[in-house]
Structure formats: C-alpha cells, structure tokens
Amino acid sequence: MDNLSNIGVIKDVMQRHGFTFSKALGQNFLVNPSVCPRIAEMGNAKKGFGVIEIGTGVGVLTNELAKRADKVVAIEIDDRLIPVLEETLAEHDNVKVINADVMEVDLHKLIEEEFDGLEVAVCANLPYYITSPILMMLLEQRLRIRSVTVMVQKEAGTRLCAPVGTRDMGAVTVAVNYFSAPKILFNVSRGSFMPAPNVDSCVVRFDIKEDTPAGVTDEAFFFKMVRAAFSQRRKTLVNSVSSGMGLDKAAVTKAVENSGLPAAVRPEQLKMEQLVTFSEELKKLA
C-alpha cells in the first residue's frame, strides 16, 4: 500500500482491523510521510541488500524498505498486526513477516537461510522500552550485517553516539563504539508519531566495524569492567570498578597506575585504547 504513511489511511486500516495501540509494546507508529523513505535510503535498503526490520507496526517502514531492497524479513511480536500486514504489504513479493519476539530469534540462522548472496542491513523504528537490549544483542552477536539504522529517543541517541572519553558516555557507548562507528543521521519530532510520545527522537546508523579494538584478550572481562566502571556516575575509576567487581581497592589502584593513568581518573575521561589497557592490567591482578 503506497500511501501508508498517510495518517488517514493508517487510522482506516487500524479501525477496520479493530486494532488498538499497546503501550507496553512501545507502539508509537510513524505518521510523517517523509521519515520512512529517509530511513530506508540512509539505512542501506538498496539493490544487493537484504534488510531485517524489527517491529513493523502497520508496515510503513517495511513498505519503503521493500521498494528498495532485494528482500525484507520483518519481525513483529504483536500477532494482532499480522492480518493488517497481509493487507498493507500485499503488493510486495519480497517481504517475509515473522511473528516473534526479536530477542528470541536466531538471527545467525535467519541471515544464512534468508539472505544467501546478499549483503545485510538492519532498519527499525525501535520499541523504546527495549532499545539498549536489542542494540546490544545485534552488536554482540557479530552478525553478518553491514549496518544497523534505528530510530531511538533523542537522549539515547546522544548517549549512544557520544565520543568515548566525553561526559555523555556510558557503558553502552563503549560497547557501541567497540563494534561500530555510530552517527546521528537526523532528528524526528514527537509529532511525527501516533500516539505522540512525550520525547523527541532521532535516527542513528551504526556502521559495523570489520575489526574490533586491538588488544582485548578477554571480551567478557572487558565488558564486565566497563559495566562496573560506568555503574556509578561521577565516581573515580578505582571506586566504581572495585565496588562494582568486588575487587580489592589496592589491586585496582595498582592496575590504574600500571596503565599510566592518574589515580583519581574518572571512567568518562578514558579513550577506548586506555580502557583496553586498563582492562588488561586489571586482569593480570584480579
């Protein structure tokens, strides 16, 4: 259905199917016709690409993705939307809808089975209640994907794209920068959604890195340290890591010193290479 981002058309489709929004599932549907084509175009929906979409709603973005990419596999948790999508996506023979929770889908298998011979991209207007878990799941699994392009709350976008070593960063910033190069593409006002959320949004693209930072010998330990380091805002690295990881303060202080860092350094002052060095020094002593 081509005029699907028209608010009148969406309302009509929803009414005919007796569909009502679920707040718990983060259902804020896009009703601004200019947004979905931009996400699709900037999100690698193009010839030679297969796209995974997470959370279709009534299929506004799915429709734009299907027009541009070779194939779209769309994952939607709400079974009430399946008959809606059968109607709104009827003209596309390159879309497969899977009724599932994305957190429970084996995406390695899906990519192997559905996108043989194609490059792969992920595009989504993410449900905000589960933004970070979905992003981390996509990045940590080292899927065969080129990019992840997602709508997130504006504040989350700022945090995710904050350069490592700046005040806005958090543990998720480190993780995102470890696996990808993040970039805010454009802002989207709250009025572009139905129902309108009480925050503005932005679209972010994560270009997946071929090589993750050098020197990490134990990724699980590195991320455990990062989570501990950023669990308590404004504390020193020594205090947050020793309390967060249950380690002796003297040992953590020694690791800080062996990494060539000032004793009172705060986690948000560290660049990626310094976090890696500190993690390796800490591991020797922990």
Residue 177 annotated as part of some ligand binding site: no
Under rule CB under 6 A, residue 61 binds ligand SAM = yes
- Indicate the residue among 28 and 279 with the shorter CB distance to ligand SAM: 28
Judged by CB under 6 A, which of 4, 13, 60, 175 binds ligand SAM? Answer: 60
Which residues partner with 181 through β-bridges?
207
Q: What's the closest the beta carbon of residue 27 comes to ligand SAM, in angstroms?
A: 5
Q: Which amino acid is at 268?
A: E
C-alpha–C-alpha distance, residues 72 and 80, integer Å: 20
CB of 70 to ligand SAM, least distance (A): 20
239 is in an annotated binding site: no
**Residue 125's closest CA among 276, 5, 257?**
5
Q: Is 206 helix (H, G, I), strand (E, B) or coil?
A: strand
User: Of 31 and 282, which has the nearer Cβ to ligand SAM?
Assistant: 31
Q: Using alpha carbons only, what angle is made at residue 62 by residues 60 and 63, rounded to the nearest 5 degrees?
A: 70
Partners of residue 206 on adjacent β-strands: 148, 182
| Residue 161 Cα distances to 15, 123, 153, 248, 271, angstroms | 38, 17, 12, 33, 14
x/- track of binding to ligand SAM for residues 245-274 (CB under 6 A): ------------------------------
Q: How far is the CB of 53 from ligand SAM (least distance, A)?
A: 7
76 lies in the binding site for ligand SAM (CB under 6 A)? yes
Q: 104 or 210, CB closer to ligand SAM?
A: 104
Whole-number Å distance between alpha carbons of 38 and 213? 31
Residue 99 is assigned to a ligand binding site: no
Radius of gyration of the chain (CA): 21
Distance CA 48, CA 44 (A): 9
> How far is 79 from 174, CA to CA, in rounded Å?
35
What is the contact mask toward ligand SAM in residues 96 to 115, using x (rule: CB under 6 A)? -----xxx------------
Terminal C-alpha separation, the chain: 59
**Residue from 43, 50, 57, 157 in contact with ligand SAM (CB under 6 A):** 57
- Both tokens of 245, joined, read 């990881």
201 contributes a contact to ligand SAM by CB under 6 A: no
Taking the least distance from each CB to ligand SAM, the nearer of 25 and 272 is: 25
Q: Is 27 in the site for ligand SAM (CB under 6 A)?
A: yes
- In the 8-state DSSP scheme, what is residue 197? P
Query: What mask, x for binding ligand SAM by CB under 6 A, covers residues 131 to 170?
Result: ----------------------------------------
Q: Does the annotation flag 125 for ligand binding?
A: yes
Footprint of ligand SAM (CB under 6 A): 25-30, 54-57, 60-61, 75-78, 101-103, 125, 127, 130
Binding residue numbers for S-adenosyl-L-methionine: 28, 30, 55, 76, 101, 125
